[in-house]
Structure 1
Amino acid sequence: MKIPLRNILIIAAFGVIGFTEQALAQAVNDADSHEIVTKLADKLVDVYPFPDISAKYSEALKKAEAAGRYNNLSEDELASRLTDDLNKAHKDVHLRVMRNEQVYKSMTEPQAGGGNQREDDSERRANYGFKKVEIDGATSTAYIDAPGPFYGSKEAFEMAAAAMNMAAYSKYIVIDIRHNPGGTGQMGRFLSSYFYNAGHEQFYLNGFYKDRKQDEQEWTYAYVPGRRNPDAKVYLLVGRGTGSASEGFAYAMQKLNRATIVGDTTAGAGIAGTYVALKNNLIVFTPFKMVVGPGSNVGWEGTGVIPDVNTGKADALLAARKLILEDIVKTGKDSITRESAQWVIDNSNMAANKPVNIKSKYSELIGRYPNNVSITAAKNGLVYKYSVPGKPVETFTLQEVKPDVLVINGLNANIAPNSSRLYVNRNAAGKVESFTRKTMMANGTIYIAPQPFKTINQISAGISHKRHRLILPFRMPVPGH
């Protein structure tokens, strides 16, 4: 049978594709597999800081190999199975085998320029581990977003110094490491050093190896570029994505009582390690140094860093900001700052307030007021209205913030949400006399309307009453007297 040329080309094309996929998924031969397992087991026995655990790893790998668990597997499959078997013997979130051709080649083949050149610009694209710095002058708060990882390059430390110097004059500093997977522990020590005066270096963390004679004490640095901020109140935001060296930063600052840790429990990766090339494009991240607190054999390995303020899945940044506002209300030196902080706290608590019948509770507010203002009843409460001749009437619902304080929803929304309030003024008998309108400005100050608002009827009645009091006792003077 004669096969058309077009079909021959299609068959050939599929044959090439099938061959390519087969080549990519080609099984690691038995000799290479044995060499990989042996090198992995020996390396763990040599460097893993806990000999009893490394013995379990070695035994588990050799037992699995004898059972044929590593036969006829692709490189990816072999890496995955080795990692699974190690985790079954003892779970260490750092310890993992992976296939990475690029890293394997960089570790096993000579590099141009003596191997000192980075093959990609991943550090630059990650902005050297620091994303942004935001300064809130109203609360004197600096927010530093450091999703990491923590790099050890010159550029990374320059970026960290720039971030810390932007925050140098803030009373409160929030550092967000919720999504920081780790990196070099030197960066955490560098950041911590800014919160101590020169000459007051702190024993930060302690690292120990299988050979305890090699123990390393880690201290904060005697010198950091720029201005230190030893009086700042520090909040570190952590979560499940906080791992390894970033956990060490949080753990050390917590143990030193130098920061409040806010968020969710961290990953629990407390044994430092490094990459080791195996064979067939396989590499292993091998833990070799247990990191613990000063004078202790206990770290965060397996348990993670437990926050001082545990928010679970709730937003840790919102929680930290509320802690800062509460501290301002408690310790602020001027009444304006304290009142502004309390204002924001009240707004954040509104959603949790017990619903009240606004229409019934504040019915005495209903009426017309000067300056084109009126308050009317609506189906679900009260409405604040502002009308200017020739323009549509603007309406804003009233919502209770706390007793006798109502937010005018939407009024001055160009400044901020919930920026305008109505404060009810009552007489000694508890009857509503007027209201005062206040507005939180963008700079944190509070503008107070010059005069309390009274209804037009109240004003008219007051004028008549005053006239009555003035006219009755008044007598015309006798000329010449």
Structure 2
Amino acid sequence: MHLSAIRMFKYIRHLSCMALLLPMSAAQAQTVSNDDASRIVKALTDQLTDQYPFPEISAQYKAALLKNEAAGQYFQLSEAALGNKLTADLQATHKDVHLHVWRDTDRYKALVAPHEHHRGNAADFDAELEADRRGGYGYQRVELDAATSTAYINIPGGFKSSQEAFEMAASAMGMAAYSQHIVIDLRHNGGGSGQMGRFLASYFYEPGNEQFYLNGFYKDRSKDIQEWTYPFVPGHHMPHAKLYVLVDHNTASASEGFAYAIQQLHRGTIVGDTTAGAGIAGGFHALGNNLIVFLPVKMVTAPNSTVGWEGTGVIPDVTSTGPAAWDAAKRLILKDIMADTTDHVGQAAAQWRLEDDSSTSLEGDVLKKKYAALVGTYNKGEVTITAVKEGLQWNRFENGKAPQHYALREVKPDVITILEMNKEYGGPTCSRIYLQRDAAGHIESLIRKTIMTAGTIYTSPSPYLRSGGIAK
């Protein structure tokens, strides 16, 4: 059984905050007897000795705990306080993001009497199932950008491994199936089941080209596990799509494993912050007196290696802090499109986006002064450009319709965006005018262009001519 590190820590922090706000309950305040405390320490050190994958570190844990026990540091403490003290001493000896001890009466009962607990908690199971379904099994949204052939898949929730979770994943990948650029956003994803990461990774290889994804080793090396991508996943495979994975310091455990494997396989680009560094998978064990431990037992590493991301995290290929990671990935995609000389439609769309990103954004009085010669009437009154308090304004008049007014803003010299015009076709900056000048530098006409949703650029069939001739 696996639990995401981030979800576990949030739970522990929640308990700590509650302890500050509310009086301790009788059970929490109940002092653990010295004999019980000693039994708990022995159970914990035995589990570490038997199962922790690094014997030299488990020996350090054991020595530290026994020394502190001999000094009486675990005596006369409440259940919750004993859990906190054991966790602090373990982390002070060697930091393992997964290794924690805490008080959890419900989970403790489930561990010591699983059949009785299951029979008595059908309602809890139904509630958890309903929450998973409402939450899309961690899949929050899929967005398609046809202009750049980009699919963005946001998975902030933990990785689940139920039939319904895989169906949700397959649906998301199905929407992305024919995009040339795939962005998987794992920021805030605390992990969960490693099977989901392998499932997603399998879409980026041809059937029959399975990859050695990750390696898991235990203290007993005869139990080592090789994790490979799957030979079959439902829907279309995307072996040629460019893959980008967004991560941050909340990306942990199994979601880190996906990012790490993709990086080690050189299959995609990792963008964002260094991840949590939780690289040893494990499960829950009961210690006594309502205390449980999440015990790491399987070190997850790169194929044919003993090195993983435990303690260090996944180091991004492109570092970008917090929310800026998605913008950084967009820039990488645009540069990638510009390098592809065969995709003329994509290049034109990418160039448009890059110009928007680097726009001068001139407006207001500065724009009015620079382009004062634009003010006037065009195409026999179909369009006027006027100076208003906010800057320059494009006004369109059509028979039977109310006048339409749009602010103007410079993109670059002699290229001006008509803000919000035709936004249903390609967004708020999809319409522009391009100034055409004569040899003397005077404006003689305007060309209007609109970038459509699919990235094609529509050019008005005839230029906009100023009534009364060339503007001086």
Fold-level similarity (TM above 0.5): yes
Asked if 1:458 is matched to 2:462, the reply is: no
**Pairs within 5 Å for 1:67-466:** 67-111=71-115, 119-120=124-125, 121-126=127-132, 127-331=136-340, 333-350=342-359, 357-370=366-379, 371-378=381-388, 381-387=391-397, 394-415=404-425, 416-458=427-469
Q: Is the alpha carbon distance of 1:352 and 1:419 closer, same or farther for their aligned partners in structure 2, counting shifts above 3 Å?
A: closer
| Preserved CA contact (<8 Å) 1:400 1:406 | yes
User: Which protein is bigger by CA-based radius of gyration?
Assistant: 1
Paired amino acid for 1:432: I
| Preserved CA contact (<8 Å) 1:247 1:266 | yes
CA displacement 1:118-168 (0-9 Å, x = unmatched): 742425423333233333334332222222322222222232223223322
Paired amino acid for 1:53: I
TM-score, scaled to structure 2: 0.85
Q: CA deviation at 1:306?
A: 1.2
Paired amino acid for 2:308: G
Question: How far apart in 2 are the matches of 1:265 and 1:354?
Answer: 39
Q: Which residue of 2 aligns with 1:41?
A: 45
Question: How far apart in 2 are the matches of 1:33 and 1:436?
Answer: 81
Q: Which residue of 1 aligns with 2:14?
A: none
CA displacement 1:423-475 (0-9 Å, x = unmatched): 111234443222111223344433322211221111799xxxxxxxxxxxxxx
> Please, what is the CA RMSD of the aligned residues?
3.1
Q: Is the alpha carbon distance of 1:92 and 1:352 closer, same or farther for their aligned partners in structure 2, counting shifts above 3 Å?
A: farther
Q: Return 434-443 or 347-356, whichever deviates more.
A: 347-356
Q: Is the alpha carbon distance of 1:346 and 1:279 closer, same or farther for their aligned partners in structure 2, counting shifts above 3 Å?
A: same
Question: How far apart in 2 are the matches of 1:284 and 1:276?
Answer: 5
Any idea what SS the aligned residue of 1:27 has?
Answer: coil
| Preserved CA contact (<8 Å) 2:363 2:408 | no
Question: How far apart in 2 are the matches of 1:67 and 1:356?
Answer: 76
Q: Which residue of 2 aligns with 1:27?
A: 31
Q: Return 111-120 or 182-191, whichever deviates more.
A: 111-120
Q: Is the alpha carbon distance of 1:218 and 1:23 closer, same or farther for their aligned partners in structure 2, counting shifts above 3 Å?
A: closer
Identity of aligned residues (%): 53
Any idea what SS the aligned residue of 1:326 has?
Answer: helix
| Preserved CA contact (<8 Å) 2:360 2:411 | no
CA displacement 1:274-300 (0-9 Å, x = unmatched): 111111111111111211112322211
TM-score, scaled to structure 1: 0.84
Q: Which residue of 2 aligns with 1:63?
A: 67
The number of residue pairs the alignment matches comes to 444
Question: How far apart in 1 are the matches of 2:440 and 2:242?
Answer: 45
Question: How far apart in 1 are the matches of 2:23 and 2:375?
Answer: 83
| Preserved CA contact (<8 Å) 1:359 1:380 | no
